[in-house]
Structure 1
């Protein structure tokens, strides 16, 4: 089941045909071409879906035209409402998706040698972290940073990595 993600607020009416200006929250990266409806906040209730006729880029947001909303008077009821989209419309960074697929890969550090296998990829504020299980059973947390990943061998499931000096030893 999809989750609802807050993407912005309907700030003003645009034109005479019932279009509304959707001001996006800063970090919202949405696949607007695929969206057929938006969810609008209702007081003390779950967001309600409203089908869109179209969504057009405008300034730093989007112009939204809802079905059956054809005038300024019709559009007025939607002003200042929070807007949500289903999480399936949130664009994912392809590189980030690729990093999640590395679970089970062996990490080989340039200086340390074999570190262990990636047991999970954690989402932390601002970065992803590989949880690597060393042969001793201890967990090592390594930044999933493109500057530290030297190469990825998808055939043999091995990542060549260059950890900051002393980071791996800190966990052992």
Structure 2
């Protein structure tokens, strides 16, 4: 499985028992969606390795108490501590309406209600307090905050994100 075909679910945070159980910290708003998985991919030496789950249950909200096949003691568990956990993109629940996954909108056209087509969404910058659409129009990069009030519609059928940006925000990029 290639990393590009997966999404980051969380990481193996700590050992739970002397029998090799671990706690996986889940980086999600809905941890209950991942309670009954059969397997996950664990990143080991930059490769995704499948790990099969024997038992799992939610633990204190954001953690999944997990027992993997072939991890039977603390020493085995030590070998996977701190490792990132991934699932295939196909395991993501489908979103509708104006809810979307960042990877889903890459390649969509960004259309402003006032300005028309303002370019192609080439990425999402979520390294700051406010996530930003990265839009490319020719040689110009336009950054638009991902604010619910700016997002009018996610048109999956036509691969468009319809925006209503305040006057001056996009114009600043286009007129410079």
Query: TM-score, normalized by length of structure 1?
Result: 0.62
1:13 Cα shift? 0.5
Q: Deviations over 1:39-89 (max 9, x none)?
A: 375xx79675442212111224222122355xxxx4222344234323426
Task: Quote the residue 2:12 is aligned against.
Answer: 8
What is aligned with 1:86?
A: 86
Which stretches in structure 1 are left out of the alignment for 5+ residues? none
Show the 5 A alignment for 1:5-154: 5=8, 7-13=11-17, 18=19, 20-24=21-25, 27=27, 31-37=34-40, 39=42, 41=44, 49-60=50-61, 61-67=63-69, 74-80=72-78, 81-88=81-88, 91=92, 94=95, 95-97=99-101, 100=105, 103-104=108-109, 106-109=111-114, 114-125=115-126, 126-131=130-135, 133=137, 138-151=140-153
Partner of 1:34, secondary structure, is coil
Q: Secondary structure at the match of 2:17?
A: strand
Structure (1 or 2) with the greater helix fraction: 2
In structure 2, runs of 5+ residues without a counterpart are none
Structure showing greater radius of gyration is: 1
With the length of structure 2 as denominator, give the TM-score of the two structures. Answer: 0.61
Q: CA RMSD in A?
A: 4.0
Count matched residues: 156
Pick closer, same or farther for the CA change 1:118–1:50 going to 2, 3 Å: same
